[in-house]
Structure 1
């Protein structure tokens, strides 16, 4: 089906290519900044339902519904996600998703959206928006931990909010995947004018953690990869990968050394880094300073000094799916 085509009843289909044009970081990040403070309180998002499909492979099905009580955001959205981490060993996507946007006034289906692309775009935009408040203004080195589907989106989004980034270092358990991503990004960069960013890969992460101004992690690890003791003063640690209590991308030391923020409250019950740290007594829930909405609304201050280490943990919520779906749909309607 062609991008932007309508399905029976007037429902619009937005594929991955359409979404990349409709909600790039340059429009989605400002949209989150302006809309989260006012819309987050009027959106109902039940706790994400997660169903194990095959415990031996950690595969699962996740359902994320949400709806708004505001006439300014007259939508209902439902995202259906499958997570099959072992797919990567077969060269298949580990995450697949579909998103449906409905009218909250009539119940009519408005848009069927590529949920995988929507997730990649909104997840990276959330991380970058947090970095806007938490990363140093003069950040110039980005260490990307993981070279999966989300990695290039995170790199692009972080570069949007910190255009001074001039060196991107990529690490992945499979060195060949890191090399392949570096090659792709170099080719992408060559198509632009006036940019001079160095892309490289390393095989030993510990050798570069200490130079990262921003360290962004997007893995499915169940064991700590980032050692907090290696983070340099002033670093910002962005944790994206884990979404269950058994997953963990950093050790307790990173949380103890850092000033910790989360995207939304559910992260404190779902993120393995936080759940484990609470259980071990490394930090408490009171040590989590605030949420992304707190940062965007100015209720909480972000970075307070050049030497402070900051940590942002996101697990994703239906609120940002709904807002991203809203922007994609309304931008599409305006352009047609």
Structure 2
């Protein structure tokens, strides 16, 4: 069994290939099985959460991700997410590799959002606003580049220094980018808004979102987390990655509890979009919202892709 650390995972993950692999898996999962994930509170004072996410596909791969989410780690200069992914042969159960779970998570999260944006975002994206400057936010432009020719990427974060650091990294990586000093003003001019935070209060408000904007809510995955106000979620064309988002994400559980949203208001899932069971955006003036909480399907696809690239680089087979 081999260990693929964060640097190795990053070197092997091609964002375009990952988006397309996810497109195929969501459109036609075949015999892929995704049991409910374990969701456990580790420490109330730290607001820390443990997620255990298994998935497998007959005669292919079996995998499980164990990840800790520590929202206050940013103030310590540490990643918010730490995790490991165990990949095994589904036919024999033999483990083949342990992959860095944090690196895998951030890339598959951004790639899934880019896949949704391919059917929900405007065709012309002159300005993409990223809210948050953490590890997931850092790779959003690279995944969006697989589906849109983005003019400029902007970032807003509570800590202006972190936003400035991220812009410098993006510029070094060839991304046209700058810091958005005023969040609400930046939302008003954006064609696409991606939030990747652990916020428990709305950051993106309906009154600031222009007609035709696509809003991509990545960060919140517990009932206390909410990155958009209820008016935006209930007034837009709403899509989710998986239906579990309805009872996991505060962006949805809160308006559901207040009677302002019903499950029937969800237009479709990422599987519906990928399989073209739903056409996605239907007008240039439509505001679309994609709310994701993540699924083990994405982890399994990404881990399998990384492992196969690793073996190919070594000149070996599966």
SS of the aligned residue for 1:160 comes to coil
Taking the aligned partners of 2:176 and 2:5, their CA distance within structure 1 comes to 31
**Residues 21-32 of structure 1: matches in 2 within 5 Å?**
21-32=11-22
Residue 302 of structure 2 is aligned with which of 299, 324, 327?
324
SS of the aligned residue for 1:21 comes to helix
Give unmatched runs, 5+ long, in structure 2.
Answer: none
Equivalence for 2:32? 43
Residue deviations 1:222-266 (CA, integer Å, cap 9, x gap): 011110111011100000000101110000111122101100111
Equivalence for 1:12? 2
Equivalence for 2:204? 226
4+ long deviations beyond 6 Å: none
Q: Cα offset for 1:157?
A: 1.1
Taking the aligned partners of 2:165 and 2:202, their CA distance within structure 1 comes to 24
Equivalence for 1:149? 135
Taking the aligned partners of 2:203 and 2:115, their CA distance within structure 1 comes to 24
Residue 166 of structure 1 is aligned with which of 148, 151, 154?
151
15-24 or 265-274, which deviates more: 15-24
SS of the aligned residue for 2:278 comes to coil
SS of the aligned residue for 1:99 comes to strand
Q: Cα offset for 1:15?
A: 2.0
Residue 178 of structure 1 is aligned with which of 145, 163, 167?
163
| Number of equivalences | 314
Taking the aligned partners of 1:50 and 1:92, their CA distance within structure 2 comes to 22
Indicate conservation of the 8 Å contact 1:217/1:241, yes or no: yes
Alpha-carbon RMSD across the aligned residues, in angstroms, is 1.3
The normalised TM-score by structure 2 is 0.95
Residue deviations 1:26-76 (CA, integer Å, cap 9, x gap): 11001111232222x5222222112211101201211111122x33xx211
Indicate conservation of the 8 Å contact 2:19/2:146, yes or no: no
Confirm whether residue 98 of structure 1 aligns to residue 84 of structure 2.
Answer: yes
Q: Cα offset for 1:132?
A: 0.4
SS of the aligned residue for 1:322 comes to helix
Residue deviations 1:76-131 (CA, integer Å, cap 9, x gap): 10100011111111111111010001111111001111111110110010000000
Indicate conservation of the 8 Å contact 1:24/1:121, yes or no: no
Q: Cα offset for 1:180?
A: 1.1
Taking the aligned partners of 1:212 and 1:199, their CA distance within structure 2 comes to 13
Taking the aligned partners of 2:27 and 2:213, their CA distance within structure 1 comes to 26
Give unmatched runs, 5+ long, in structure 1.
Answer: 1-10, 190-196
Taking the aligned partners of 2:76 and 2:9, their CA distance within structure 1 comes to 26
The normalised TM-score by structure 1 is 0.91
Confirm whether residue 249 of structure 1 aligns to residue 227 of structure 2.
Answer: yes
